[in-house]
Amino acid sequence: MSSKHIAATLALGGIVLSGQAQADFLSDSKATLGLKNFYFNNDNRDGTAAPSKTEEWAQGFLLDYKSGYTDGQVGFGVDALGLMGVTLDSGKGRHVGSSMIPSDSDNGAVDEWSRLGLTGKAKVSKTELRLGTLMPKLPILVSNDGRLLPQTFEGGQLTSSEFKDLTLIGGRIEHATGRGSSDQTGLAATGGTRESNRFDFAGGDWKVTRDLTAQYYYAHLDDYYSQQFFGLIHVLAIADNQSLKTDLRYFKTDSSGRNSSGTSGYRISGYTQGNDGEIDNRTWSAALIYALGAHAFTAGYQSVSSGSGFTQLNQGGLPDKGAGGASLYLYTDRLIQTFTRAGERTAFGQYAYDFAALGLPGLKASVIYLSGDNIKTTTGSTQKEWERDISLDYVLQSGALKGVGFGWRNGESHSQASRDQDQNRLIVSYSIPLL
């Protein structure tokens, strides 16, 4: 039985327990309709690939229903996620590889696309089991929401907070649906072209003290890699409205299964030591975030080992063009680049300001600059790249349009390892509570 069928069975089984169970199931339910208008423009400044510019505009609808739990020692429930995108403007010469909008049979943009996700859930005390559609936000797997519709996964996840100050998480993912697609695929590592059908993970967050959190996670993508993550987060309260946050992250990723044996398709593309396509990476980073009132200053450094590039789940090498697009639990995962190439060393700095301090609540802005060097590719070993991103957001605080959000993202990237790019994103969003 698939995870979707199991999810439905769990939910329906819980609903029919009793009249009181149904009352709790319904009275605690919540539903929202999210509206997202997205304009995406990515201009490649050099190189031979055509077209040189991606320019698309679409309207997204996200219906998010979350039920309550049935009454009893074991509570059951069901969540539903309905996603739909409508193309407002695109063209065959400006639509590239289902980056945001799926492609039709002629490689043009489709007029509309949709998908439905169901999640069954069961809860005992402070432990919850979820089966079906998942959108994880974990160091070893982060669901991507960088385009019109979010990336989703199919599988199961168990979360427990039975012990004070300790949250334990484990599960298995079997399928993914890309942000620019309506179709499920199997799983792959960055640069892999063959599907895996199992991604197992486990770990937890331990609040050692009020100010210190320790993290450990383990993940295994069958036939590709095993990965361990260690993290430490400390927040030092200096004075009122003044603090210093220290964020340390370390990933250890080793080849596994067919990737280790060099089986065709499971080898990753790009630079690997010995040109064997084998995953072998250590990535660490350190960031300091100093907050002073409305100001926030970030300075950090990241180092990627030279065995291979940093690797996590990314289905971009599979035949479904819309399967690509991934988020990483790294400060360097920006609008255009991720600064995760083999051997890359990156220094970065960011400044953010909340204009509420000037009497403009809802208005926030930030700018970040990253510079990477020592990049190893198949064509060079000392390449460099840099990126500058600007972010501006405003949410209306009153009036008939209260809650409507406006966002602008602008990025400029220059790289010796890839094409130079300029990117703009314009986003208008609004959430309507239905229940």
Residue-wise pLDDT for 157-180, tens only, equals 999 999 999 999 999 999 999 999
Q: What pLDDT is stored for residue 221 in this prediction?
A: 98
Residue ranges and CATH numbers for the domains of the chain are: 3-433 (2.40.160.10)
Q: Are strands 184-185 and 199-207 parallel, antiparallel or unpaired?
A: unpaired
Sign of the four-CA dihedral 250, 145, 220, 7: positive
What b-and-e string marks burial along 172-185, b requiring 16 or more CB atoms within 10 Å of the CB? bbbbbbbbbbbebb
**Residue 190, both tokens:** 């960055």
The CA distance from 132 to 12, in Å, is 14
DSSP notation for 351-401? EEEEGGGGT-TTEEEEEEEEEEEEEEETTEEEEEEEEEEEEEEEE--SSTT
Q: In which residue ranges of the chain is pLDDT below 70? A: 1-23, 45-51, 92
pTM for the structure as a whole: 0.92
